[in-house]
Amino acid sequence: MIKNLKSNYFTKINIIGFLISIIAAYFLFPPYFDMGIYPIPPVEFSWQTLDPSWVSTINYVKIHNLNWGNDFAFTLGPLSYLSTRVGWGQNRISFLLFDLFYFINFAIIFFISFKNSNNKYLTSSLILVLALILPNYFGSISSFILLAFLLFWIRYSLDNKFLVSYVFQLIIVVLLFFIKFNTGLISFVLFGAAILYKIIFKKDKVLYLLGYFTLPFIIIYIVSGYLNVSITKYILSAFYIVSGYNEVMYLDRSFCDKHLFAIIIMLSSAGILFYKMVKEGKKEIYKNGFVLFLFSVSIYILFKQAFVRADESHMKEFFYCGLLIVFCLYDFHLHQKNKYAIFFICATGLISIYFVNKLDAHAFNFEAKTLKKNYFEGYRSFTSTSGFHLFPNNNQLPQNVLNRVGSNTIDSYPWNTQILLENKLNFTPRPVFQSYTAYTTELENMNFNFYNSYKAPKFVLYDFEAIDDRYPLFDEPKLNLIFTKNYNCVDTLVVNSRKTLLLEKKTETHRLKFVQTKEYAIYLDSPLIPKEGVYYEVFIYRNLLGDFISVIDHGPNISLAIVKKDGETRKYKTSIKLLETGIFSLQHITDTDGFKSFLKGDNKEQNIIKAYYFEPKNKIFFKEKIRIKEYKIVQ
């Protein structure tokens, strides 16, 4: 046995491979232990408070023992702090174990790939490129790195029956479920597909595989109690967020070099696997077909996440992780002899280096990759509050506002929740705690039911604002309607150079109800003439071509055109699902002052709305008729 181990592992070339793997994994180890929470600095645009707010709110939810699924809904889960690395309220052991899990996976995956490779120059070159381009702070790409690990262990299990590959798959699937739901959902699809493949084509023991398949569900059920997760509602709410994202969160970007080279990477990589499947013929057709399936699903999800939003921070995620997916599905490089395939694989590495450097000003930080002193010092000095630095802050609310709110509950609309934490207020988040995310009927109703009950906060810090040129009143139409019925404006202040309202719940409030009165169809280009006291749900339908475009790109563009009585027209970005949440109002509101007047019932003649129009950028993607439901607003 010792002789066998020595001949298999303790050879000169394998020792070199081991050193390369350990060094590369060390380079990718975090340079610091955790991230602190600091006051938001002065910002030019209000949307710049959005990301810091959701990061701090995730930790706030855990500290205050709110239930994921019932009290709180987001695509990120209760273990997402492991990717944000915010230590406030967390346990240092969880960070350490998570980091060691990454390190062990990188080291083993690199070493196994090197050891089994017939083209060690290619494999070692890919390892070095990955060590160079992958950041030390994984952040938002943490879930895709875990997904790449899962791909490796699934692929490895097709040829080997080592228990360790199943153990790693199990841990990864559970982690992904609680870190980020959309990637977690895909991990279950791939995990389940692998089990099905082994049952059908490998003829492995069915009971053993079925037992293995059910094990993550059992673990998730047990762990969900500890993490305070309502599993069904957690899944449903996250699914609604994921489904609505594709419809409205896209940015209209011109086709650019980043799109082009991302497509080149995808098509050339898929072509390499397809060529391998054809060349090896019937003997390995099912295994090669399954590997092509694994690659296609994972690279498609990566591409969609990067290029639906299509800002630079999202696009660089593709070039971070695309090469890692290619590496972990080792059919690309372990036994690669085809010179054209080798050329495209090397080109993928060079393209990745180029765009990572182009999109990330801090790429290739060799100091962070080699010096880990701050990590170990951070571990030794860590406490659950050592990274909490919100006091004092640069965003102090006026003293009269703080005195008025006191210890009463308060929420922030549309998204700047951190300002409440910085001012030590009794923050009571609505379930979908940032308005830009409540873009489906189900999500909007979660917030509406929260505010339409005894749970509604006493105060709301209100700013009339939306992202991506959406109409702020209709980001959360039912919630804004409740503000007009159950809240008064009791103060006006300036927050981050923007006029902001302090709303206070009325002494006597009444629950809102919507009583359906009509349902009818109109043509897509027909106007909707609004009536006072009527709430409208608008249902626009895509055709098959529109559904196809939505899958390969994003939901086809739709604008909400508001035509005022004086003939002036203003167009806003919207979506099918957002319109289904509803619209109302005879007044066109353009700013916080306008909303303040709207609260008071002070309607302006110049703001009267004549009609709403729903204008697709391309009608060919939609059916010609839409459905309208009318509701009487009852209180």
In the chain, what are the domains?
2-33+92-364 (no CATH), 399-505 (3.40.190), 513-634 (2.60.120)
Q: In whole angstroms, what is the distance from residue 480 CA to residue 486 CA?
A: 10
Residue for token digits 């898929």?
270
pLDDT of res. 5: 47
Asked if 24 contacts 106 with a C-beta cutoff of 8 angstroms, the reply is: yes
pLDDT of res. 312: 85
Asked if 261 contacts 323 with a C-beta cutoff of 8 angstroms, the reply is: no
Which residues of the chain register pLDDT less than 70? 1-10
Tokens linked to 589: 């509101």
Collapsing DSSP to helix, strand or coil, 77 comes out as: coil
Q: In whole angstroms, what is the distance from residue 22 CA to residue 469 CA?
A: 48
* Burial letters 217-239, b for 16+ CB under 10 A, else e: eeebeebbeeebbbbebbbbbbb
Q: Are strands 409-413 and 426-427 parallel, antiparallel or unpaired?
A: parallel
Asked if 534 contacts 481 with a C-beta cutoff of 8 angstroms, the reply is: no
Asked if 476 contacts 438 with a C-beta cutoff of 8 angstroms, the reply is: yes
| Nearest of 108, 127, 229 to residue 179 by alpha carbon | 229
Range 308-311 contact pairs with CB under 8 angstroms and sequence separation of 24 or more: 308/245, 308/246, 308/249, 308/250, 308/553, 308/554, 309/249, 309/250, 309/251, 310/250, 310/251, 310/253, 311/251
Q: In whole angstroms, what is the distance from residue 130 CA to residue 25 CA?
A: 10
C-alpha torsion 433→439→442→448, nearest 10: 50
Q: In whole angstroms, what is the distance from residue 583 CA to residue 608 CA?
A: 15
Asked if 185 contacts 234 with a C-beta cutoff of 8 angstroms, the reply is: no
| Nearest of 75, 30, 42, 81 to residue 60 by alpha carbon | 81
Question: CB-based contacts of 356: which residues, under 8 Å, 6+ apart?
Answer: 133, 316, 319, 320, 363
Q: In whole angstroms, what is the distance from residue 212 CA to residue 153 CA?
A: 14
Secondary structure, 3-state, 142-186: HHHHHHHHHHHHHHHHHHCCCHHHHHHHHHHHHHHHHHEHHHHHH
Asked if 596 contacts 587 with a C-beta cutoff of 8 angstroms, the reply is: no
Asked if 446 contacts 432 with a C-beta cutoff of 8 angstroms, the reply is: yes
pLDDT of res. 4: 52
Asked if 87 contacts 95 with a C-beta cutoff of 8 angstroms, the reply is: yes
C-alpha torsion 131→378→360→470, nearest 10: 130
pLDDT digits (tens, 9 = 90+) for 518-564: 999 999 999 999 999 999 999 999 999 999 999 988 999 999 999 99
Asked if 470 contacts 574 with a C-beta cutoff of 8 angstroms, the reply is: yes
Longest dimension (CA), the chain: 92
Q: Give the global pTM.
A: 0.93
- What residue type is assigned to position 597 of the chain? S
Up-side HSE of residue 252: CA atoms within 13 Å toward CB?
Answer: 9
Q: In whole angstroms, what is the distance from residue 52 CA to residue 111 CA?
A: 38
Q: Are strands 558-564 and 459-462 parallel, antiparallel or unpaired?
A: unpaired
Assess whether the previous peptide bond of 78 is cis (omega < 30° from 0). no
